Amino acid sequence: IGRERRRAAPAKYPTTVTLNEAFEGTSRVLQQPGGRRLEVKIPPGVDNGSKVRISAGSGQREDIFLVISVQPQPRIQRQGRDLYTEVEVSLEDAILGGETTVMTLRGKVALTIPPETQNGQRFRLAGQGMPALNDPKLRGDLYATTNVRLPTGLTPEQVELFQRLRESRSRDARDARDARDAR
């Protein structure tokens, strides 16, 4: 009867990467007992709990796994392959339309803000999310949520313009109400 060689349970090494490293891919040097050093490539798209297998070399009785943890990043949150961020928009751009810059993991991109954009409105930037683990060309999306910044330190002229806007909108609302009541 032949003897089967039993493999030991795989060794697991917890490894932390940043969101940018998870986006781009990275490598780590693993120091093993006995002084053996292994450079391990961590592919783009890894997420919390992803396992990177390192094949046991000849003569080794166990496989090795890096168990990945991705550090949270304060300005971009991840949900699967999609990313979420906030973008500050001036009141003037929210009302009249304009353009702002969104920071992505690839760099800056321009975002067109249409007129009458509401606070909390979400815009989808297709293909700006995380790469798929086994297909880095396939990417999720980035969702940018507007955070309209209200002006402070207004001049008397600017305050007067806002008062005129309020009066104009009140007049328009009153006229619309009167027109409905007249029907």
Mean pLDDT of all residues in 144-162: 95
In this predicted structure, the answer to whether residue 5 has a pLDDT above a threshold of 80 is no
Q: Which of 1-15, 76-90, 119-133, 151-165 has the lowest mean pLDDT?
A: 1-15
Count CB atoms within 10 A of the CB of residue 13: 15
In this predicted structure, the answer to whether residue 32 has a pLDDT above a threshold of 80 is no
Residue with tokens 């999306």: 141
The two tokens of residue 48 are 């919390």
Mean pLDDT of all residues in 154-181: 87
134 pLDDT band, cuts 50/70/90, is confident
Q: Give 68-125 as a 3 state SS string.
A: EEECCCCCCEEECCEEEEEEEEEHHHHHHCEEEEEECCCCEEEEEECCCCCCCCEEEE
Taking only the tens place, the pLDDT of each residue in 61-97 is 567 889 999 999 999 999 999 999 999 999 999 999 9
54 pLDDT band, cuts 50/70/90, is confident
Count CB atoms within 10 A of the CB of residue 181: 7
What pTM, to 2 d.p., does this model score?
0.82
Q: What's the chain's length in residues? A: 183
pLDDT value, residue 63: 77
Q: What percent of the chain is predicted at pLDDT more than 90?
A: 69
